[in-house]
Structure 1
Amino acid sequence: MSHQVALSFEDGVTRFVTCAEDQTVADASYRARINIPLDCRDGACGTCKAFCESGEYDGGTYIDDALSDAEAEEGFVLPCSMRPRSDLVLQIASTSAVAKTQAASYTGEVTRLDRLSPTTVALSLKIPDRDKLTFLPGQYVNIAVPGTDQTRSYSFSSAPGEDELSFLVKITPGGLMSDHLTGVAAVGDSVTFTGPLGSFFLRETARPALLLAGGTGLAPILAILRKLRDDAIERPIHLIYGVSTDDDLVELDAIEELAAQLPGLTWDYCVSDPGSSAPNKGYVMSLIQPEHLHEGDAAVYLCGPRRWSSRCVSTSPTPA
């Protein structure tokens, strides 16, 4: 039996390798020509030490100088010794350049271009080699703006298992991608992107989750919810979605549909414009209630405008 192992590098690049249960993660990585840090190959030096964010594994044999019992208890592992027992996500203590790898590039076709509101466009693509693209819900890609040498970053709003790839794009007057999508782009156009990228993604855990989405930061949150739906997860989840104006509100029907499919999902939304017709006026943080935090045992995912600084936050300690 084989498992997918996500190697998350310090520069935001994520590469996926297929690893058999009788194979070490290091061997699988090198067979895929991804040179993660490695020296001894037998658990003696600790050069390859990584942190396992999620998944089950057999840690293998190694000496204490390479990995202490305390480190192993925290979730640190040695890829040269460990063997997967499920899909894994590993934090690799180096950049993709050091590992002599890079994010992959794909070329696809625009299948849908929907103006969801005056300020938001939904972009959908299909790529011929879809089986080669693996990503974690919450990650993003850099999409090339046709006719320029520029790229723009957009998070997947689709689940990793869907054939069609979807994104939410905030329309900014004068913006390169905004002007292209609203004035030039059409279904059937060719689009190139590079990825997946980013360390904002769903962690596998049974803990309750609080999801906070601002503006088109809703996209990666939708990807997370769709993945939870596809996996039939029933953990308690509360979503709070906030925007600046009524024009920015999108995908409410999609959220309602997900709430019907996910037994543990509750949600609310707000608009900061005082003149809004929304039932809640104000900011996302004003809607957080003590019960949403589950006495500090909730995994918190926050994604929104740059001033929010898009990131994933967990209330439990994680390695620096």
Structure 2
Amino acid sequence: MTYNIALNFEDGVTRMITCNEGETVLDAAYRSQLNLPMDCSDGVCGTCKGTCSQGRFDLGEEYIDEALSDEEAEQGMVLTCQMVPSSDCVVEIPAAFSVCSKAGNAAVDGTVDEVNLVSPTAIELKIIADADIGFLPGQYVNIQVPGTDETRAYSFSSRPGSRQLSFLIRNVPGGLMSSWLVGKARSGDKVSMTGPMGVFYQRAVERPVLMLAGGTGLAPFLAMLEALKEKGCDQPTHLIYGVTNDDDLVCVAALEAFAQQIENFSFKTVVASDASQHPHKGYVTNHMEDAPINDGDVDVYLCGPPPMVDAVLGYFREQGIEPKSFHYEKFTPSVKVEKVA
């Protein structure tokens, strides 16, 4: 039996490795040409210390307290030289990927399958990757704009584990990628991708979840919902999806399907424009009545343009609510800024 281990490096790069039954994460990483920090490999020095944020494992009893204290172990910290997984795991590595690998960021080529203008402000890009891209739901990849040296960062909206990738991209008038997609891209065109990257990803669902999406910030949540559909969900999970105009609402049919397929999942769409006839008008913070806040015992995921992110952060401060965990990502046409709290 093998387990999938996601190694999240401090510079935002993620690499998926496979760990065999009884194999340590350190050995599995080395087998995958990743040299994780280590000095002794015997549970003595503590150099290989990281944090397991998801999954089951055994640390054994061979390491010493100076390398990993009981308090650190209770907080989920691990020694990768002693950690033997018994399920798929996510491990945070306190080192840059560039230091651990001479290969650099993984580059994967792909072929354009479809380009769809799904609204005046959003483009759906579908790519068939030439090789597997092991990403966590919520992460992104850099896609090189064909014919240039420029790249743009886009979150996966597709199911993890598939070579059939999809992206929901903001249609920026005059934008480099937007102009190529709308005016030049054709099925069969080759594209180059680098990644995956990002610390904005779905953690294990252990309490109610609130998802807040703005515009094409819906993309990472589509990937998260695909993962929840596959794994199941026993906690209340609610998505509020806000846009500026009626025409900006996309993928509503997909959300309705998720609501039928995922137990405990519900969603609401919100339109800000005063001219809209939508039943829910205003901003996402005006429609939190169904949000599973649970007196702060909630995991909040937020992705949208900077004004929306700032407004939501202000809302929680004003309400005096501190969520158990708060993960957010701001995006502008060519920049992504991530935060985990």
Q: TM-score, normalised by structure 1?
A: 0.94
Residues 306 and 189 (structure 1), Cα distance of their counterparts in 2 relative to 1, 3 Å cut: farther
* 2:108 alignment partner in structure 1: 106
Amino acid at match of 2:323: T
* 2:323 alignment partner in structure 1: 315
Give the distance between the partners of 1:307 and 1:105, measured in 2 at CA. 33
1:307, distance to aligned residue in structure 2 (A): 4.1
Amino acid at match of 2:301: Y
Give yes or no for contact 2:210–2:291 (8 Å, CA) kept in 1. Answer: no
What is the RMSD computed on CA atoms of the aligned residues? 1.9
* 1:147 alignment partner in structure 2: 147
* 1:197 alignment partner in structure 2: 197
1:128, distance to aligned residue in structure 2 (A): 2.9
Structure 2 residue runs of 5 or longer lacking an equivalent are 311-315, 317-321, 327-339
Amino acid at match of 1:172: V
* 1:87 alignment partner in structure 2: 88
SS in 1 for 2:97: coil
Residues 181 and 159 (structure 1), Cα distance of their counterparts in 2 relative to 1, 3 Å cut: same
Structure 1 residue runs of 5 or longer lacking an equivalent are none
Structure 2 residue 175 is matched with structure 1 residue 175: yes
Residues 278 and 291 (structure 1), Cα distance of their counterparts in 2 relative to 1, 3 Å cut: closer
SS in 2 for 1:97: helix
Give the distance between the partners of 1:291 and 1:247, measured in 2 at CA. 25
* 1:303 alignment partner in structure 2: 303
Residues 290 and 181 (structure 1), Cα distance of their counterparts in 2 relative to 1, 3 Å cut: closer
Amino acid at match of 2:219: A
Residues 127 and 8 (structure 1), Cα distance of their counterparts in 2 relative to 1, 3 Å cut: same
SS in 1 for 2:263: coil
Q: What pairs with 1:3-82 in structure 2 (closer than 5 Å)?
A: 3-60=3-60, 61-82=62-83
Give yes or no for contact 1:62–1:81 (8 Å, CA) kept in 2. Answer: yes
Amino acid at match of 1:273: S
* 2:120 alignment partner in structure 1: 118
Aligned length: 316
Structure 2 residue 232 is matched with structure 1 residue 224: no
Give yes or no for contact 2:232–2:263 (8 Å, CA) kept in 1. Answer: no
Deviations 1:218-250 (A, max 9, x none): 000010011100123232110000011222111
Amino acid at match of 1:73: E
Give the distance between the partners of 1:85 and 1:125, measured in 2 at CA. 33
* 2:332 alignment partner in structure 1: none
* 1:284 alignment partner in structure 2: 284
Give the distance between the partners of 1:238 and 1:121, measured in 2 at CA. 25
Give the distance between the partners of 2:175 and 2:45, measured in 1 at CA. 50
Give the distance between the partners of 2:278 and 2:72, measured in 1 at CA. 49
Give yes or no for contact 1:108–1:192 (8 Å, CA) kept in 2. Answer: yes
Deviations 1:77-135 (A, max 9, x none): 00011100101111110101111253211111111111101111100011232xx3211
* 2:97 alignment partner in structure 1: 96
* 1:258 alignment partner in structure 2: 258
- Structure 1 vs Structure 2: percent identity of aligned residues? 49
Amino acid at match of 1:86: S
Residues 142 and 173 (structure 1), Cα distance of their counterparts in 2 relative to 1, 3 Å cut: same
Amino acid at match of 2:75: E
SS in 2 for 1:53: strand
Give the distance between the partners of 1:256 and 1:59, measured in 2 at CA. 43
Amino acid at match of 1:113: V
Q: What pairs with 1:241-252 in structure 2 (closer than 5 Å)?
A: 241-252=241-252
Residues 289 and 90 (structure 1), Cα distance of their counterparts in 2 relative to 1, 3 Å cut: same
Give yes or no for contact 1:234–1:262 (8 Å, CA) kept in 2. Answer: no
